[in-house]
Amino acid sequence: MSIVLKTPEDIAKMRTAGQLAAEVLRMIQPHIKEGATTEELDRICHDYIVHEQKAIPAPLNYKGFPRSICTSVNHVVCHGIPGRKRLKRGDIMNIDITVIKDGYHGDTSQMFCIGEPAIIAQRVCRIAYECLCIGIREVRPGARLGDIGHAIQNHAEANNLSVVREYCGHGIGRAFHEDPQILHYGKPGTGVELHPGMTFTIEPMVNAGKRFTKLLPDGWTVVTKDRSLSAQWEHTVLVTDTGVEVLTAQPEETF
């Protein structure tokens, strides 16, 4: 267990990687529509990352993952494998992008709506985003990881939604998944203390039903056990001297 504190040189490269990952999410947006397959979206992202950004799609061959992005539709919680399934009106989908540039990782994901999903589907997407933002607002030197987890859990459960516990955020840098683990539930004032130079992801998975998950036989796809809808948003963040910098922020986002 060792947390890597990033130097100013590391941070500059993390910023670049983070912004490339965010750019892929903007690029793919107009391609997400009824009738598109998730493997078409994967190919577009793959080609863009490799040929335009001259970067590496981190998921490809990571522990045997067969594609360059994760696409998690409706009751899929995370790690959905792009395939021949076509998007239909009313679906909600998470796209998770991780790129490696100059040796450093940037990791971000967001929800997309196809057509106009049911109110409950829109609601789980919105509350999951609020959970991410509420978690980010806890990040500052001297805060503890339990403060982040508690804030997220509290917001989800206050809205009658549940937080997935089997998967979590993670330190990130030269490695995809570094220490520490960032749980999206917990108790205030507990856990690792935050220090300037730490970089990690916050990526809450929020379910409309119960929190329990099941791994499909493909060894990757995680679904809700009760088949309820699930939503996830992710950013890579840096602990600064005064608070937080969101390395994968979109231009219009404020935290």
Mark out the alpha helices in 79-224 (DSSP H runs): 119-136, 145-158
Q: How far apart are CA 88 and CA 72, in angstroms?
A: 14
189: left (phi over 0), alpha (psi -120 to 50) or beta: left
Q: Name the segment binding ligand MF3 (CB under 6 A); options: 1-9, 61-69, 127-135, 211-219.
A: 61-69
Q: Name the segment binding Co ion (CB under 5 A); options: 43-51, 127-135, 138-146, 234-242.
A: 234-242
Q: Name the segment binding ligand MF3 (CB under 6 A); options: 63-71, 110-118, 132-140, 237-245.
A: 63-71
Q: Which of 183, 96, 109 is nearest to 144 (CA)?
A: 183
State the helix-helix crossing angle for 8-28 and 38-47, rounded to 10 degrees.
140
CB-neighbour burial class of residue 201 (10 A; exposed 0-12, middle 13-18, buried 19+): buried
Q: How far apart are CA 57 and CA 100, in angstroms?
A: 6
Q: Exactly one of 23, 107, 178, 245 binds Co ion (CB under 5 A); which one?
A: 107
Q: Exactly one of 110, 153, 162, 201 binds Co ion (CB under 5 A); which one?
A: 201
Q: Exactly one of 43, 56, 65, 240 binds ligand MF3 (CB under 6 A); which one?
A: 65
Q: How far apart are CA 28 and CA 143, in angstroms?
A: 35
Cβ nearer to Co ion, comparing 13 with 120 = 13
Cβ nearer to Co ion, comparing 177 with 225 = 177
96 binds Co ion per the rule CB under 5 A? yes
Q: Name the segment binding ligand MF3 (CB under 6 A); options: 59-67, 127-135, 148-156, 241-249.
A: 59-67
Cβ nearer to Co ion, comparing 35 with 48 = 48
111: left (phi over 0), alpha (psi -120 to 50) or beta: beta
Q: Exactly one of 91, 178, 234, 245 binds ligand MF3 (CB under 6 A); which one?
A: 234
Q: How far apart are CA 12 and CA 237, in angstroms?
A: 13
107 binds ligand MF3 per the rule CB under 6 A? yes
Interface with ligand MF3 (CB under 6 A): 59, 62-63, 65, 70, 79, 96, 98, 107, 201, 203, 220, 234
Interface with Co ion (CB under 5 A): 96, 107, 109, 201, 234
